[in-house]
Chains A and B, each alone.
Chain A
Amino acid sequence: MEPILFAVLAAVALVAAVATIAWRNPLRSAFSLIVCLFALAGMFVTLFAHFLAAMQILVYAGAIMVLFVFVIMLLDLSGHGSELKLRILPVLGSLAVLAVAGKFAKTVLSTHPLVTDVPPAVPDSFGTVPGVAELLLGQFLLPFELVSLLLLVAVVGAVVVARRRFWREGK
Chain B
Amino acid sequence: MMSATPLSWYLLLSFAIFSIGLLGLLIRRNLVVMLMAMELMLNGANLALVAYARFRGDEAGQVMAFFVMALAAAEAAIGLALVLAIYKHFKTLDVDRISRLNG
Contact = CB atoms under 8 A, between A and B. Distances in A.
Interface residues of A, number: 89
B78 A84 contact: no
B93 A6 contact: no
Interface string A80-97: 101111100110111011
Contacts of B46: 40
Nearest to A30: B36
B32 A37 contact: no
A127 B62 CA distance: 7
Contacts, number: 253
A147 B53 contact: no
Contacts of B9: 6, 10
A80 B94 CA distance: 8
Interface in B37-73: 37, 39-40, 43, 46-47, 50-57, 59-60, 62-63, 65-67, 69-73
A56 B73 CA distance: 11
A63 B36 CA distance: 14
Contacts of A85: 29, 96
Contacts of A26: 30, 32-33, 36
Given A114-B56, A115-B56, A71 B80 contact: yes
7 contacts: A3-B5, A33-B36, A47-B53, A100-B19, A105-B12, A140-B63, A157-B81
Interface of B: 1-13, 15-24, 26-30, 32-33, 35-37, 39-40, 43, 46-47, 50-57, 59-60, 62-63, 65-67, 69-78, 80-85, 87-89, 92-94, 96-97
